[in-house]
Structure 1
């Protein structure tokens, strides 16, 4: 009698398991073994509990690892954000540190600059050279010399590449940017600086020839011609700028700057009217200039 009841129990259980767990034959086999070995009691084990009670017990290992990794990543990002936020609060602008901070802080700031790219801080470093703290001044001089060395090596390499292939836009762009940084570094005497300015002009003109929509190159070229006193060339470049980028406020502002330098009030007013009548949405800087000149200043 027992074996009949047991046989019916096993058959009904296996049938129920087959219906409930069709997706995985391994799952069916495991659960079948459990209810055969532990008749009745097997149905009370956690392997048969509903998912809403224990969660997804059939979650793949890869899914589990992925989920845990994502949760850990979220926690880790949260920690990093807290650290970065604290670092931002601890940051002291370099200019302020060199002016108002104690000597220990000044030295630390200069050491940090030495570890980074000092080229980006040349103007600040030049001011730090005359700092009353001798150690701060020494660090500033060291940073400037290292920056000068890097710029000179870069210029030598780029000059060779530019001569060999002046149509390489990346080389031309990089060469112009390094020349710009070197001329602003304060390393050059007047005669050498003039020489580099003419080299810079050549590179900028080539850049404009290769990329007629590069605003920075146009602006630099206009400013350079004004610095060299080549006012006719400056006006020509500013007009080329307007023709190439008629929807740029910078083009009109550059043209106005040229006419201001040559004291041509009439043509400055014409450039101003062209800007005011254009469909360009002006920035705050441009609006300020338009209002200033519109008032007859």
Structure 2
């Protein structure tokens, strides 16, 4: 047989395969991407076969894909049909189960109500060897981040409309603090968010004497390596509540974290002259901080 005849047979087979692939795509309601069709057309024999394999794969439903559907489907899903409350176990144990399908079911059943409660474990589950478990954990974390950002934008708008409202400042600072402490952010993203929190604290002078706000400011100053500002804020907390053990413990914690032995000694001397009624837990914390500074 001549070379021309061989080429003709190849082109005929190519055309037949191309036709079969097109008919299969139409019957299965699958649209062929024009760029993919061009490659199928230009590559004899292997082009149509590759296109057929891609179309056939796209028509299959990946296992447990329903766990990764849109948020609306997730909220409407009836988990009780899969697991009863008696069958639920802690998420820590769910991640150790060898059966991937059961592990996913348990995770979904546990996390459906309040994913924030299990955020630490979700951050670990991102690196689970089961791709579906890791995918679900990552998708949930991204959704939590999105909700944080949306809530932050909403509060910023409310503050712009009512900048003198202490309650709105307090809520906004609390949200930013929880976001920074959540573990969702790392590196430069976390640093930028801590700067945003710093600015929010500076813009809320009306609540500068609020103990909870002062504690947030102390943690943020320590995170930003602003040791002197952290010490000043801790002193403000003591002046505000001199008989509250938590005020002294916070100030002592600052000295421990910045390795300020002189400041610690001064605090302990002042503490001896102040009638603070420490609880048993408070005394244990105090002893822990003192031992860690030495």
TM-score of the pair, normalised by structure 2: 0.61
Question: Counterparts of 1:216-235 in structure 2 under 5 Å?
Answer: 216-235=212-231
- Following superposition, the deviation at residue 104 of structure 1 comes to 4.2
Cα distance, 1:108–1:282 mapped onto 2, change above 3 Å: farther
Is 1:117 the counterpart of 2:123 in the alignment?
no
Cα offsets for 1:181-222 (capped at 9, x unmatched): 332445545333222212212323455632624x33222211
- Following superposition, the deviation at residue 259 of structure 1 comes to 2.1
Query: What secondary structure sits across from 2:133 in the alignment?
Result: helix
CA contact (8 A) 1:162 1:172 kept: yes
CA contact (8 A) 1:110 1:140 kept: no
Cα offsets for 1:155-195 (capped at 9, x unmatched): 11111212332332332232223222332445545333222
Cα distance, 1:209–1:94 mapped onto 2, change above 3 Å: farther
Cα offsets for 1:24-58 (capped at 9, x unmatched): xxxxxxxxxxxxxxxxxxxxxxxxxxxxxxxxxxx
- Following superposition, the deviation at residue 293 of structure 1 comes to 5.9
Q: Alignment partner for residue 167 of structure 1, among 154, 164, 167?
A: 164
CA contact (8 A) 1:117 1:147 kept: no
Partner residue, 1:263: 259
CA contact (8 A) 1:167 1:210 kept: no
Partner residue, 1:253: 249
Partner residue, 1:62: none
- Greater relative contact order structure (CA < 8 Å, 6+ sep): 2
CA contact (8 A) 1:208 1:217 kept: no
- Following superposition, the deviation at residue 90 of structure 1 comes to 5.6
Unpaired segments ≥5 residues, structure 1: 1-85
How far apart in 2 are the matches of 1:201 and 1:253?
Answer: 22
Query: What secondary structure sits across from 1:170 in the alignment?
Result: helix
Partner residue, 2:200: 203
Question: Counterparts of 1:1-297 in structure 2 under 5 Å?
Answer: 92-99=89-96, 102-112=99-109, 114-188=111-185, 190-206=187-203, 209-210=206-207, 212-213=209-210, 215-292=211-288, 297=294
CA contact (8 A) 1:97 1:109 kept: yes
How far apart in 2 are the matches of 1:101 and 1:281?
Answer: 51
Query: What secondary structure sits across from 1:166 in the alignment?
Result: coil
How far apart in 1 are the matches of 2:97 and 2:266?
Answer: 47
How far apart in 2 are the matches of 1:208 and 1:284?
Answer: 35
Cα offsets for 1:219-260 (capped at 9, x unmatched): 221121111111111111011111111122121112112222
Q: Which has the higher helix share?
A: 1
Cα distance, 1:270–1:156 mapped onto 2, change above 3 Å: same
Q: Point out the structure with max Rg over C-alpha.
A: 1
CA contact (8 A) 2:88 2:110 kept: no
CA contact (8 A) 1:97 1:106 kept: yes
Q: State the superposition RMSD in angstroms.
A: 2.9
- Following superposition, the deviation at residue 100 of structure 1 comes to 5.3
- Following superposition, the deviation at residue 149 of structure 1 comes to 1.6
Cα offsets for 1:131-157 (capped at 9, x unmatched): 122221122122112212211111111
How far apart in 1 are the matches of 2:244 and 2:92?
Answer: 33
